[in-house]
Copies of this chain bind each other. A is one copy, B any other.
Amino acid sequence: MFAAPKKGKEALLGDLAPIDRHSSLGESAYATLKDSLIRGAMQPGTKLTLRSVAQVLEVSTTPARDAITRLIGEGGLINAGPKTVIVPYLSLPDLDEITAIRLSLEGLAAEQATNHVTEAEIHELENLQERINRGLDEGRYTDVLDANKDFHFLIYRRSGMRRLVTIIESLWLRMGPAFNGLYPEFAQSRTGVSNHLWALRGLHDRDPAAVRGAIENDIRSGYRRLSSQLAAVGEQGGESRS
């Protein structure tokens, strides 16, 4: 059938080159699209066709197809019909589900990170928080959102759990488009600030439960604002068949 596994020849060179091979048109097309989605650069309902994506990304249909297929697989795009791929709407039930999962997973990641994070990294987090505050003051809300994302993922990555981070990313991917059209109302809130400060303190004190609690509060407060705005915007919520 398939090739049998080879004998594991041990690394004799001390694990010299961890060679990341993240280069291929398909890979970067995927990364680019994914980034657009997470950033909320694409409006829910936007229809993506193979050829239009290929054209925008300046590649042939093959890499474009790769990207779209993978994104559908993780729910970042959905099949809304026979030959129709769109950026998904986030319905309230969808938001509820994603929030529940986020609380579990980001809580876990935050907890785990507490024991691995270094002082230098905590300092880096403080810098990010500075950037958030400044962005809030100066009305640069895109910056706020970006820095907020960096803040969270810097913590999550310190969990040392790679797959966990990947899964969390796929959840943010699902939330991204919902922010579209919600600027700047959403980013204006300063409710997140105190949660971040609590998280920083917990990190510094090596108190996993405190960090988890802070992150959970942050997620919950985001949920409240987002769900009320979603309800206000109206009933455009589509099905979320994956």
Contact = CB atoms under 8 A, between A and B. Distances in A.
4 cross-chain pairs, A with B, having the tightest CB-CB distances, nearest first: A5-B45, A3-B47, A104-B104, A97-B161
A99 to B, nearest CB: 11
Interface in A95-109: 97-98, 100-101, 104-105, 107-108
A199 interface: no
Interface stretch (A67-75, A121-129, A131-139, A141-149): A67-75
Interface string A177-200: 000000000000000000000000
A166 interface: yes
A157 to B, nearest CB: 13
Given A2-B52, A21-B82, 16 more contacts: A1-B56, A2-B53, A3-B47, A3-B48, A4-B45, A5-B86, A6-B47, A8-B45, A18-B241, A19-B82, A20-B241, A69-B69, A70-B73, A73-B73, A100-B108, A100-B112
Please state the number of chain copies in the assembly: 2
Contacts of A86: 5
A167 B238 CA distance: 21
Given A69-B70, A74-B73, A163 B3 contact: no
Nearest to A105: B104
A21 B79 contact: yes
B48 A101 contact: no
A87 B240 CA distance: 31
Category for how many chain A residues contact B? 35 or more
Contacts of A1: 52, 56
A56 B2 contact: yes
A70 B236 CA distance: 30
A131 B104 CA distance: 32
15 contacts: A2-B42, A3-B47, A3-B48, A5-B46, A8-B238, A18-B241, A21-B79, A26-B69, A66-B69, A69-B70, A101-B108, A101-B161, A101-B164, A104-B105, A104-B107
